[in-house]
Chains A and B, each alone.
Chain A
Amino acid sequence: MRWRACWCGVSPAELRGQVPNSVPASTSQEVSLWRRLTDWGATGFAILAAILVLVPLLAIFAYLVIKGVGSVNWAFLTQTPKPPGETGGGMANGIVGTGLILAVGSVIGIPLGIGSGIYLAEYGRNRFGDVIRFTADVLNGVPSIVIGITVYSLIVIRQKHFSAFSGGVALGIMMIPTVARATEEMLLMVPNVIREAAYGLGIPKWRTTLSITLRTASAGVITGCMLAFARVAGETAPLLFTAFGNQFWNLKLNQPTAALSLQVYTYAISPYDDWHKQAWAGSLILILLIVGAVAAVRITTSRGMMKGS
């Protein structure tokens, strides 16, 4: 019974089957060849797995740098696309469009996300909180293309045209669950003593939450927001039928807008060599944007970037 109480799931009988009967006296010399071989085999496999996983990562970055750097030039950063087949032109409108859509997305996603996070941590320790928590997880798992369809039917059909605004809404919706869960987690790490100290001073709850609890957790909350930002910055699928893409400059929220990711997609599946080059350049800019955002946050908020967790 004593053994059963132990939750390890390894019964003594099983252990006896695996380990030779000379358990107490066993030294490394006595370990059988077969056991040593499986140990080496497993170690080898784990190392191989690590290498196999890192190879595509390095390959992708290497190709992005090699193919991308050659194609990024002044024209690429300042001009709009040329008609199909002509060389030259750039993705300036896409860069600006991505910024525009991301701005709308952040304006929608971050406040709603932080608000929901505050609810979950400070008010939601009840049944309704569990419902919201589960719903946020559901929203997190909804495929981005399905978000695209929804926003298309909600906004694009009603407005009767594609728009930067609808693209921003789609990305904003996708940011909410990430921001909310990060906010909740970080707020829960703030010790209750601090809240009680604030209440003890007569500070009302809203003020305590905003200027004390949230502020204490701000580093983590900002990290969560940036991760959400980085996650949606490269999204393409939800923009296909919302922002739609545009060959020309557009700074209006109610007009179709180019986005880097959309342009990379269009150019990658096109038959033109010059467009392929520009797709690599666009990807490089996009990844620099994302990695830059993530790295900036890591550096400013965490002292343990290379420490793992």
Chain B
Amino acid sequence: MSDNVDPMNSPGPMEGLPKPVTAMPTLAKIDAGRHGGKPGAALEKIRSSYPGSSRIPDEVFRWIIVLSAVSVFVIVLLVVWELVDKSRLTLHQFGIHFFYGRDWDPNNDSFGAMPFIYGTLVSSFLALVLAVPLSIGVAVYITEMCPQRLRGIISFLVELLAAIPSVIYGLWGIFVLAPLLRDYVEPFLAKTLGWTGLFTGPMYGLGMLAAGIILAIMIVPVIASITREVMSAVPQNQREAVLALGATRWEMIRMGVLRNARIGIVGGVILGLGRALGETMAVTMLIGNRPEVAKSLFAPGYTMASVIANEFTEATGDLYLSALVEIGLALFIVTLIVNALARLLVWSITGGVARPSA
């Protein structure tokens, strides 16, 4: 909720409120109000139902509300339970070996999740490398540099980036980004940075690099909005103090703003990481879906989320299905840890105000 809609100032929703009582209603007024006058009618209601009968609807309401709150808890428990229950087979059969086994061969009942874990980590890390400087740059531009008139428009547009469904990113990635990478970016990278070993091999367009770039675009709004919020939580006189000491604008931003906001920014980055780890559709469409551990970023890979998306409905045999669910369980645990960490950091700065935009 980045838009601070103040419900108190908008005239609409207030209309239904009873008028504040300015003076204590006298008995006469209560009696006069029995035929429709609002305060009197309300008091009359209490009087007539005095021996506690009005507590029943209150209790019923309380129980409904508590039940709906408990439902959140129950849903999370069900998620954990189903994941553990349905992956019991592979948990028993492979144990910890499941996570570093490199061989994924459903036909021979051989399941090792290493290629997927590798693909998830590398694509998310690549996304962070690309997205972090960009997001901080955008946030700095929006909060500290940009003309007042552009501020709202640009932050709205960046938030809009978060509203685009992942499948549309995937579609755009397949037909626009991947050809662009294949024909221009990858040959260039191979020529200039090929010696690092990260940019070698055949160029398909689709692959780890494409997945990393699309993920970066998708997590920029997450990181940028948190960064923006923690930066605006830095008191204004902090900036003025640094400026008064003769600092340039960048020195002011670096020393007065970024340094104070750094823990919150790290929290935002980790939140972005959480989003990147669990992202499914766009990555599935772009990463090439080959369970390999390759050093080159041009090579196709596979992520934990995409293997579930691609193979879950086709999984024949209990062991195969169980292996996929166990990957889901691992994904759940990792995102749980990452998100908890991020929230702790963001809360420690803003006191619970900042939250990722939906």
By a beta-carbon cutoff of 8 Å, the part of chain A in contact with chain B is 7-10, 14-15, 18-20, 23, 26, 31, 35-36, 38-39, 41-43, 45-50, 52-54, 56-57, 59-60, 63-64, 67, 111-112, 114-116, 118-120, 122-124, 131-132, 134-150, 152-154, 173, 176-178, 180-182, 185-186, 189-191, 194, 197-198, 200-207, 209-212, 215-220, 223-224, 227-228, 230-231, 233-237, 240-241, 244, 261, 264-265, 268-269, 276, 279-280, 283, 286-287, 290-291, 294, 298, 301-309
- Overall SS of chain B's interface: helix
Tell me which of B103-111, B183-191, B238-246 binds A. Answer: B238-246
B332 lies within 8 A of A146 (CB):
yes
The answer to whether the Cβ of B27 comes within 8 Å of any Cβ in the partner chain is no
B336 lies within 8 A of A138 (CB):
yes
Q: Which residues, 58 to 92 on B, are CB-close (under 8 Å) to A?
A: 58, 60-62, 64-73, 75-76, 78-79, 82-83, 85-86
B305 lies within 8 A of A145 (CB):
yes
- List 17 A-B residue pairs with CB atoms under 8 Å apart, sorted by A's residue number: A9-B259, A46-B144, A46-B145, A57-B164, A63-B172, A115-B64, A138-B336, A143-B279, A145-B278, A153-B82, A190-B8, A206-B58, A206-B60, A235-B165, A236-B166, A241-B313, A304-B3
The answer to whether the Cβ of B32 comes within 8 Å of any Cβ in the partner chain is no
Q: Which residue of B lies closest to A197 (CB)?
A: B20
Give the Cβ gap from A120 to chain B, nearest Cβ, in Å: 7
Q: Point out the residue from A45, A141, A198 that lies within 8 Å of B137, measured CB to CB.
A: A45
B281 lies within 8 A of A227 (CB):
no
A176 lies within 8 A of B16 (CB):
no
Contacts of B220 in A (CB 8 A): 53
Contacts of A140 in B (CB 8 A): 339, 356
Contacts of A150 in B (CB 8 A): 78-79, 82-83
By a beta-carbon cutoff of 8 Å, the part of chain B in contact with chain A is 1-8, 10, 12-14, 16-18, 20-21, 38-39, 42-43, 45-46, 54, 57-58, 60-62, 64-73, 75-76, 78-79, 82-83, 85-86, 133-138, 140-142, 144-146, 151-158, 160-161, 163-172, 174-176, 217, 220, 224, 238, 241-242, 245-251, 253-256, 259-260, 274, 277-281, 285, 305, 308-309, 312-313, 324-325, 328, 331-332, 335-336, 338-340, 343, 355-358
B251 lies within 8 A of A18 (CB):
yes
Contacts of A241 in B (CB 8 A): 312-313
Q: Point out the residue from B4, B71, B142 that lies within 8 Å of A116, measured CB to CB.
A: B71
B358 lies within 8 A of A231 (CB):
yes
B165 lies within 8 A of A287 (CB):
yes
A50 lies within 8 A of B248 (CB):
no
B76 lies within 8 A of A9 (CB):
no
Q: Point out the residue from A45, A112, A144 that lies within 8 Å of B68, measured CB to CB.
A: A112
Do A219 and B13 contact each other (CB < 8 Å), given the known contacts A146-B331, A149-B83, A276-B175?
A: yes
- Overall SS of chain A's interface: helix
B343 lies within 8 A of A137 (CB):
yes
B142 lies within 8 A of A50 (CB):
yes
Contacts of A35 in B (CB 8 A): 248, 251
16 more A-B contacts (CB under 8 A) besides A19-B245, A42-B140, A54-B154?
A31-B248, A46-B137, A49-B138, A115-B67, A118-B68, A131-B73, A139-B76, A144-B280, A150-B79, A176-B75, A190-B7, A206-B62, A219-B7, A234-B164, A268-B174, A305-B152
